[in-house]
Structure 1
Amino acid sequence: MRAIAFTFGTLLLTYGACSFASNEGDKLFAPCVACHGSKGEGNATLNAPAIAGQDAAYVERQLRNFRNRRRGVDKSDAIGAQMQASATAMIADDAAVTKIASYVASLPKTINAKSAAGDLRNGNNQYQGKCGACHGVTAEGNPTLKAPRLTGLDASYMKRQFAHFRDGVRGTDPQDTPGRQMAMMAKTLPNERDLDDIIAFIHRQGRPK
């Protein structure tokens, strides 16, 4: 009985700690709501991507990249510069970064309300040939390879980030190894039409059939 009581007490303490961390993450996320939405659903009008349900390690890495000026410092990335300034001013320290990332990861994953148009067959072929090995067959992401989930992201955000990787705006910092790998891959896609088709394919993933 003592062992059972101890185990139950341990579970209560663990649950209480997790609940406290979740509540703390919720509060720390409050400044992000204005752009990313209360549920992390994003706002394409404000150029803010959906982040809900994204892998915690990826969110944490990107917040650290912004705070450490590994991202959002190129003169042609005005939107990234806004995020870089916000992440620096509104997030107190590394502990807060971790709590925000954990909270974001706990939010229900987003699904694109409206799919982008494109050739799904070509999109599938191009995606599986260029992207699937890292981002997953259905664009679900792969934390082991540090590749984020792509489903739920709006077309304009994906096109903008792809261009940034391709043009050397993002993924150039020596300490951003995953970013540098993506930058190299971005240079292998032949044209914009293929990118549009890839995005159309990604938007079909995770949706009811």
Structure 2
Amino acid sequence: MSFSRAGFRSVALGVVAALIFAWQGPLAAQDTAKPGQEATPASGSSTQTAGQPASEPAPAGNATAAAAPGKPGDAAAGQGKAAACGACHGMDGNSSDPQYPKLAGQHEDYIVRQLTNFKANKRQNPIMLGMATPLSEQDMHDIGAYFASKQSLPGVADAALVERGQQLFREGDPELGVPACMACHGIAGRGNPGAKYPQLTSQHAQYVQAKLKDWHDGVTWSDDALAQIMPTIAKKLSEADIAAVASYIEGLHPADAAQPAAR
């Protein structure tokens, strides 16, 4: 299939506008979770603070609810609250099972946003709904702060997929109407916390691939304008392109990390 240059310009402008005003970027908590999963949401093991009622699910259509403004998180408090998340996401947020996302180094507000979406059932997953429901807004911030304080372990990319993956990540594909991933997520995949675009660096390729496929097939993680960005882009990617960019993302890591970029 082919797309006009005008169509690409429209998509690119839409992404830039979203970057200026707010965000819903891609990856974070796992949709196919299991008990204790998704430190982000899975921190359901955390109980709400004494005397502090859990926040109520946001009404549908309220785009501001997912922002979860609240008091900045306390990483020390979050460590205990996130203990149950370790079974799937690793105690330090570096999951050993690639079907579950790494949360280490992820931005606090992004984790809060996804927990809020799970709790409101906007990002639908029965297990994560149950895990997120007991959490207060402060619990979410504390859990987010804990994982944000950790460092994501470097991954490796498949050498056979690097060329196409790098093109999509750094240049996009004008013919397909696909903007460069780094326009929102940064050259090294560190994300943009101010605009609420998540960190992607070193994320498991299997997880990234699964989420891109979900978006390609029409899944959304909320009902606001920000949640439409990735589904709109992913629909234009082929299965091969999804595999390539997912693998490239796993190979992204800090320059000071002693790890080969390809295998």
Question: 2:150 is matched with which residue?
Answer: 107
- Are the counterparts in 2 of residues 44 and 157 from structure 1 also a CA contact under 8 Å? no
Residue 249 of structure 2 aligns with an amino acid whose one-letter code is I
1:51 maps to 2:94 = no
Match of 1:38 among 86, 91, 94: 91
Residue 124 of structure 1 aligns with an amino acid whose one-letter code is Q
Deviation (angstroms), 1:117: 4.8
| Cα shift readout 1:56-99 (whole Å, capped 9, x = no counterpart) | 11111111111111102xxxxxxx432232222xx431111111
Q: Which has the higher contact order (CA 8 A, sep 6+)?
A: 2
Residue 63 of structure 1 aligns with an amino acid whose one-letter code is L
C-alpha separation in 1, matches of 2:227 and 2:97: 23
Q: CA RMSD in A?
A: 2.1
Deviation (angstroms), 1:50: 0.6
SS at match of 2:188: coil
1:120 maps to 2:162 = yes
- Are the counterparts in 1 of residues 88 and 97 from structure 2 also a CA contact under 8 Å? no
C-alpha separation in 2, matches of 1:86 and 1:36: 14
**Bigger Rg over Cα:** 1
Question: 2:226 is matched with which residue?
Answer: 178
Question: 1:14 is matched with which residue?
Answer: none
Change (3 A) 1:117 1:192: farther
Deviation (angstroms), 1:145: 2.9
- Are the counterparts in 2 of residues 116 and 199 from structure 1 also a CA contact under 8 Å? no
Match of 1:142 among 174, 181, 192: 192
Deviation (angstroms), 1:199: 2.0
C-alpha separation in 2, matches of 1:53 and 1:42: 12
Residue 232 of structure 2 aligns with an amino acid whose one-letter code is M
SS at match of 1:146: coil
Q: TM-score scaled to structure 2, two decimals?
A: 0.61
Runs of 4+ in 1 over 4 A off after TM superposition: none
Question: 1:86 is matched with which residue?
Answer: 131
The more displaced of 196-205 and 148-157 is 196-205
- Are the counterparts in 2 of residues 120 and 201 from structure 1 also a CA contact under 8 Å? yes
| Cα shift readout 1:122-155 (whole Å, capped 9, x = no counterpart) | 2111122131211112222122332211112111
1:195 maps to 2:242 = yes
Identity of aligned residues (%): 30
- Are the counterparts in 2 of residues 170 and 183 from structure 1 also a CA contact under 8 Å? yes
Question: 1:132 is matched with which residue?
Answer: 182
Relative to total residues, which structure has the larger helix share, 1 or 2?
1
